[in-house]
Amino acid sequence: MRFSTFAALLLAGTATQAAAQEPPVPAESLPPLSPFTADSGAPLSVAQAATDLPRLDLAIRIDPANKAISGEADYIIRANAPVEMAEFDLDPRFSVTSITVDGNETRYESADGQLSIPLGRTLAAGETARVSIAWNGKPWVAKRAPWDGGFVWSETPEGKPWVATAVQMEGCDMFWPCIDHPTKEVERLNSAITVPEGLVAAGNGTLLGHDTADGWTTWRWSTRNPNTYAIAINVGPYELASASFESRFGNTIPLKFWHLPGHAPQAAALLDEMKTYLDFFEEMIGPYPFGDEKVGLAETPHLGMEHQTINAYGNEFKPSPQGYDGLAQHEFAHEWFANQLTNSSNNDMWLQEGLGTYMQPLFQQWRDGEAAYLAALSSQRLALLNRTPVVPSSPITSNYYLDTDAGWGKDIYSKGSQISHTLRQLIGDEAFFTSIRRLVYGRADPKPGNFVPQFRSTADFQRIAEEESGKDLGWFFDTYLREAALPVLKQNRVGDRLELEWVRESGKPFPMPVEVQFGGRVVSVPMTGGKGSVNLGSERMHYVIDPLAKVLRYSATVERWQAWVAEQQEKAKKAKSGT
């Protein structure tokens, strides 16, 4: 999702990503976004749970002049249990012009953003029906894409229409009828996006072709198993940069970048950089999941988003002191951690965002070595808030992401990354990376064509990591993911002996080993039951706890610094407002 390491920059008062966004287009007289549509991933209804989606032919016409859309969603649905009703989510601001079942017009009910469509018969498990929905209207305009989602109606510097969507928190029902839940992916999506002649619609998957008639051009795309919020509209006077990558798995992967005119050199350079990312991910994680389609980028008027095989890119090709485009790399990480592996509920979103964020320091370790890795992790550490569990105990809505008091929408990034690092140090590289592969691909030996999309929970990750490491990791996952506060390491020096004790929020033991450096050596102190000690050999012996920062723990120093930053920001805010 949104470039994750921005949290540290926000704490330092340099919100460069937010500042890079174009001002939102006024919503004119549109009604407010309904609570049902504003939320994504709400519990499935009985009918929705019983409905699988083997195919969708989705036709959408984009009218930039009127900031309006119209479309038809032609579904083949399949019952996985007896079902008499089809239920789809769609923003009620749209007008539904017709609904048919197996070609016959049907009555339906529409309430609070959900369409209830009688099938006229009971589908037994395995049986199919065809449901077609036509709609039109003015979609919700994003106030601050990609954080607050919707349509972005913008213009290029030359005054040409430049249109994009970003709907992760609000979901697919913001602009097309869908089952707005991460587990309800369409197995095959054929999309036809019609735009004014002269514009290009860059879409998900493989381009099948395009045709022009009566001043409009229709661009036809096909993809498999798209993540529901990763189906995207990208329209502009695009030019195309192309390249290819010879995978270590024997297949050739096409790379495509739809960029604005005048950006050809920058686009070509970023495509070359993408090859490095591909090499990294395929070595460390496994095969690119959509190598039979493409690696795709579309230049957008908002910062970025992990739209499957057509990642939104709005970072303006900015250089970075790390020597790589962190936004492009982060969004690309989501092809593995969001689009191939999808969290099974909102509560488990850290699997997408935390593991996706860990891929930035891991990339720096792979490319530049240990110092770059530790420096990147140290920077991320400053952003942690620890106000609420990374995995809340009760079901949450996607809107919880924007709850600034809870801070959950920030911690799932950097804290998730720090947790990943600590788990890796605890169980070792072999167990850690095998666990990641099994989590992402459903198997430890992924190769192109031998895996399918995975829907995963934190419990799944814990089970897999325990199987691979041979260790009980309940205490680890409970402490870091199901409790808010970080564990505190208490130190007490008694003569030449250093006594250590872990204290966690629940009061339960935390048997995390701790390394202590002294006298030119490093000793790993077992912390059975959460306590341990080491003989330093001298009352005056200098020592360093956890010299390589292997363990995520509470830091009073960071907490004081964060409080100071918040105080300075509040002073600056008051000074600006004159209060």
Closest CA to 189 of 53, 52, 340: 53
Q: Which two tokens stand for residue 145?
A: 């894409």
Is 307 known as a binding-site position?
no
Contact 94, 60 (CB under 8 A): no
Is 259 known as a binding-site position?
no
Contact 74, 132 (CB under 8 A): yes
Choose, from 87, 306, 331, 466, the residue flagged as catalytic: 331
β-pairing, 200-201 with 234-236? antiparallel
Per the DSSP assignment, residues forming a β-bridge with 189 are 56, 223
How far apart are the C-alpha atoms of 229 and 185, rounded to whole Å?
10
In angstroms, the first-to-last Cα distance of the chain is 36
Choose, from 413, 466, 483, 515, the residue flagged as catalytic: 413
How far apart are the C-alpha atoms of 280 and 29, rounded to whole Å?
48
Backbone angles phi, psi at 25, to 5 degrees: -75, 135
Decide: residue 356, CB within 10 A, 0-12 exposed, 13-18 middle, 19+ buried.
Answer: buried
Measured between alpha carbons, how far is residue 323 from residues 186, 243, 314, 369 in Å?
38, 21, 18, 14
How far apart are the C-alpha atoms of 71 and 61, rounded to whole Å?
6
* Rounded (5°) CA angle 330-332-335: 120
Q: Which two tokens stand for residue 44?
A: 């499935």
Where does 382-457 have alpha helices with state H? 408-427, 429-441
Decide: residue 204, CB within 10 A, 0-12 exposed, 13-18 middle, 19+ buried.
Answer: buried
How far apart are the C-alpha atoms of 148 and 141, rounded to whole Å?
9
Closest CA to 317 of 270, 356, 274: 270
* 296, amino acid identity: G
**559: CB partners within 8 A, 6+ apart:** none
DSSP line for 336-396: TBTTTEEESSGGGTHHHHHHHHHHHHHHHHHHH-HHHHHHHHHHHHTT---SS-SS-SS--
Is 331 in the active site?
yes
Closest CA to 312 of 8, 13, 21: 21
DSSP 8-state assignment for residue 149: -
Is 559 known as a binding-site position?
no
How far apart are the C-alpha atoms of 323 and 363, rounded to whole Å?
11
Annotated binding site: 330, 334, 353
Which residues are known catalytic residues?
A: 331, 413
Binding-site residue set for Zn(2+): 330, 334, 353
